[in-house]
Amino acid sequence: MAVLAFETSCDETSVAVVRQGRVLANVISSQIRLHAEYGGVVPELAAREHLRNLLPIAREALREAQVRPDAIEAVAATQGPGLPGALLIGVKAAQAFAYAQRRPFLGIQHHEAHLYSPWICGRPPQADFASFEPNVSLIVSGGHTMLVHVEGELQHRLLGSTVDDAAGECFDKVGKLIGLPYPAGPQIDRLAQEGNAKAYDFPRPMLREPHDDFSFSGLKTSVRYFLRDNSHLLGNPPAVRDLCASVQSAIVEVLVAKTFRAARRLGVSCITASGGVSCNRLLRAQLNATGQSKGFRIRLADLSLCTDNAGMIGILAERKLALCDYASALDEDILPNWSLAGSR
């Protein structure tokens, strides 16, 4: 079965072709440069850019996969959550394709696709659901930070999420205070490599609280006050590197500690992580190291699949078709607030 998949929920336009668990093509066009000028994603610009790029990218994906449009057996798109104008482009294009070709359309929940992305591995990427096991999953992106108990394939329960800023948002906002371009997460990761993480002591929010929720806005505020009182540090590159390392270490410590604590409490011995922030080198290293020392199996999304991409949408859609014959109506609306917990 060949599935054509669209992802247009935020600032990446992506189209993938998936067949029998294999990602044959996963073309991604990032709009980062377009939005960098404004310091964040401008929804109207994102929608217009998706509209301009989606069809050329779809043609490129089909060509790369060497699959003809009439060989596509199902079409999937991210239906939510996301920016309304952006979601609309991918969902309506997928529904139009499904209608014209008389194929089923599958609306996919974006975080559910991230949730199963750690089970896609290799070159070319291929789903490895044969080794699936129950896990606690950390989804960390620019817009969301979530802990999820994945009890079985396609059976999951949201344990907790951020009550304010997401981890990626915290990286980006702290980066802005330091004067780094958007998105600052990758830059902080790079600068922190040569910094001293113990140089400055920032709060570890909600680290000791018994629930699985996160909060990162207090950390950002404490960096703001720190820089108000120590603005001279910004002109000193070694101090900036120390600052990046110290902030990164606070964010990562909270993410890692709360993930392992939830897994221990639930008696789960596998931990997975996905989303843009799961590219972070310290986060990956700490998850792997803690997993090894405490006897957990760790599966991190492949670096090429951490940020938004249609490959993970197509893999989940194909799995849903195989396991539960799931399909959505051709006139279903976008669901900009669709939560992983099920509410639409």
Point out which residues bind ligand KG4 (CB under 6 A). Answer: 10, 141-143, 168, 171-172, 183-186, 189, 275-277, 279-280, 307-308
Which one, 135 or 280, has the nearer CB to ligand KG4?
A: 280
Least distance in angstroms from the C-beta of 90 to ligand KG4: 14
Query: What is the strand order of the sheet 74-80 is part of?
Result: 105-109, 74-80, 2-7, 12-19, 22-30, 126-127, 120-121
Report d(CA 145, CA 211) in Å as an integer.
14
Supply angle C-alpha 183, 187, 193, rounded to 5. Answer: 155
Q: Which two tokens stand for residue 100?
A: 């014209």
Q: Which of 172, 189, 302, 308 binds Zn ion (CB under 5 A)?
A: 308
222 binds, among Zn ion, ligand KG4, none (CB under 5 to 8 A by kind): none
97 binds, among Zn ion, ligand KG4, none (CB under 5 to 8 A by kind): none
Least distance in angstroms from the C-beta of 231 to ligand KG4: 23
Which one, 141 or 272, has the nearer CB to ligand KG4?
A: 141
Residue 42 φ then ψ, to 5°: -95, 110
Least distance in angstroms from the C-beta of 138 to Zn ion: 13
183 binds, among ligand KG4, Zn ion, none (CB under 5 to 8 A by kind): ligand KG4
Verify binding: residue 79, Zn ion, rule CB under 5 A: no
Which one, 86 or 268, has the nearer CB to ligand KG4?
A: 86
212 binds, among Zn ion, ligand KG4, none (CB under 5 to 8 A by kind): none
Report in angstroms the alpha-carbon separations of 92 from 51, 86, 107, 108, 109.
11, 10, 11, 13, 15
Least distance in angstroms from the C-beta of 73 to Zn ion: 26
> What letter would DSSP give residue 19?
E
Other Cβ atoms within 10 Å of 343 Cβ, number = 8
CA-based torsion, 280, 213, 258, 342: positive or negative: negative
3-class secondary-structure state, position 73? coil
Determine the interface stretch with Zn ion among 14-22, 128-136, 210-218, 300-308 (rule: CB under 5 A).
Answer: 300-308
Least distance in angstroms from the C-beta of 142 to ligand KG4: 3
Residue showing tokens 């999951």: 156
Bridge partners of 147? 138, 160
Bridge partners of 274? 139
Least distance in angstroms from the C-beta of 312 to Zn ion: 9
The gap from C-alpha 202 to its chain's centroid, in whole angstroms, comes to 25
3-class secondary-structure state, position 109? strand
Judged by CB under 5 A, how many residues of this single chain contact Zn ion? 2
Least distance in angstroms from the C-beta of 275 to ligand KG4: 4
Residues 138-157 that bind Zn ion (CB under 5 A): 141
Residues that bind Zn ion (CB under 5 A): 141, 308
